[in-house]
Structure 1
Amino acid sequence: MPLLVLYNPVSGSSSAQEIVNKQVLPLLKTHGVEPDKVVSTEHAGHAGTIVADFASSAPEGSDLTLILVSGDGTLHEVVNALYDRTWSAQLNIKLALVPGGTANALHSSFFPPIPGSETTLSAVHALLGSDSRLTPLALAHTTITASPLSPAGEQTSVLSAVVISTSLHVSILLDAEALRATVPSIERFKLAAAQNATRWYNARLRLLPSSATSDLPSDAPAPVLQYVPPLDQFIAAPAPAATSADAGPTAALELTGPFAYMLSTVNVDRLEPAFRITPLQRAHPPVPPATADIVVVRPTRDPSVKDSSEAEREKFKDKVWATMGGAYQDGAHVRSTYTEDGNIGSTGTGQPVVEYFRAGGWEWIPEEEDDRAHYVCADGAIHTIPKGGKATTRVLGKAELGFTISLYT
């Protein structure tokens, strides 16, 4: 089976080359494994070209093994380059991911940090082991379309293997980048978060059921699911009103804003080793069809919020930060509920502070006058929704991709 070792020398702490030379290659050698190629990326987008060209040169129908030493952004390049190519036969890539980035969300989700344990080469050990296990990765396809009044063909299309988000998450990334020159450390993310603490985002969010696009028969769509904290389980989300054009048990579910937070993930339960933002990816693993886990915070669900004034936003800020801090406490934020007077507890039966859904995808339709609501983050890359446009994310089935990526776990 063809084996490519690929690393990004500038990702994370720029230690990928040292990891390859001092850890990965010696380990392969002790098992008598010789890579077909060992390649370093040289510029943005290079990783995708390298993997796609390597796959194109391999015998048709053969499985490929990729050892990738990088962060999640480099994998993002790879999946999009593969998607942009046409494959005459199904391409199957077996991936051993070695963390070489900053957050390493995908690696730390499958190999959570354990005190006193070293997990850097866990995926490579899995590859070399006699009882290796492969986990297929779900891939989310996001299309950003312009207003119906814009010229036809104006759209952006991108695949993601980790996170697709709007609202606060994107604002923090935007403003942290603006601070990079003056605050090069990760402290800039905390400053960016403080700058956006009281910002709300005006949009509509439509949660989409899983359908034939996720390798289910077209007559067997799966409904949108919603997590209920007191039950500690998912149930079918309430169906839209019968007057809706697509009403029924598997209709889209529309949520109105404003939103303080909206983020979805595939494959991962965390965005960094200790930040479990979608913990139910592991606590209650999704079953086919492939879905996204979606977390939403809408301020006006708080019984004590009277309006959208700055004073009300300031009061709500402390609550949402205290709640979302639970992501650093093994995902405790998803169990927070409101009391009748708007206080927050973790054992009540009131409305959840964080709405947690599992769906086949979603549509985000921002209000035209809210500029910050027009940004979408796909695996760290930020895209802009044109005025009057929308972003639509669907988790794709393997039949639509032409390739599969399975992770050694």
Structure 2
Amino acid sequence: MTTSNAYDLATKDLDPPLAVIDLAAFDANAEDLLRRAAGRPIRVASKSVRCRHLLERVLALPGFRGLMCYSLPEALWHAELGTSDDILVAYPSVDYGALRALAADERARESITIMIDSTDHLDAVDAAAGHDHPEIRVCLEVDASWRPMRALHVGTRRSPVFTARQAADLTRKVMARKGFRLVGLMAYEGQIAGVPDRTGRFTDRAVRWMQQRSAAELAQRRAEAVRRVRAIADLEFVNGGGSGSVEITRAESAVTEIAAGSALIGSTLFDGYTRFRPQPAAFFALPVVHKPTRDIATLFAGGYLASGPPSASRLPSPCLPAGLRLVNLEGAGEVQTPVTGKPARDLRIGDRVWFRHAKAGELAERFDDYHIVVDNRVERTVPTYRGEARNFG
């Protein structure tokens, strides 16, 4: 990792708060993802990056293929700009304006695949674009959670389609509907990809046990679902996994591509895996504006909390100078963030403290620009989604 002094030197002519991308770390993470995927194509999850320059950079590397967007308006934007001609929208859309725009744009229809998990999603497209709309590419989502016993659900709550039979039944209904073409199947194993197993807590062994058994169950169920759906529809792709499960997901022959994005940035929630450890690539700096005591430095702003269950793991983490920590009673605040620890004694008004965000993409919602740092200098400054006046909420 670049030292704190090096980041300070690179951005000495810029006023904090500011955010930087360590390009060497970003590129190293991309190469590591390719190594882990072992030849399986990687579809880049845009919500974990939210910066068009970085998305274009990684998509230019052999082995990365296509975008996984988190909203249809975002996908339409990328299709219009030519960022990619292979875009999967990971979540169903009921944005009627965006659905009408998709139906009306031939280039977008050829590039974009929308997600469904029931005929209700088909009905939404018909309601938005009319029953005589041109053919829309759709992907069927299968729930990848682990359900070892009745009423026990381990994983994200997404699709109602759980069994291979349910997947086949929905496929037949899609095939019978005019204006739709089923081209893909997706199953996201969040309980494996998004749950760290090397946190130092007593629960780590239980997490590894859960993930091993969940992976074995899912491999069989996903393979059967793909087999039954392929008997009805000509699938172009089967998408699975995430940054935290690349090695596990690639072992399934039924999966043709892996989704990943957070490992490119290396946010703190991805520090705790036995399978891999990305290099931290995104940082933000806050200036010291108060010295209320010898052992506390209070910084301007900083309340950049991550989404998810409320816990300390969602807080940003001070990392440079090393040894600083948040003050428990205040945490990270909208207007001020106090830090303490031995290095706080040497901090003065105007000095900078560097942080890492808990989640990879959400930092981009706080800054208009990322300053790209190469060899201890800012090589260029590029806009985030926010900097391009894009909010896909």
Q: Which structure has greater helix proportion?
A: 2
**Under a length normalisation based on structure 1, what TM-score does the superposition of the two structures give?**
0.21
TM-score by length of 2: 0.22
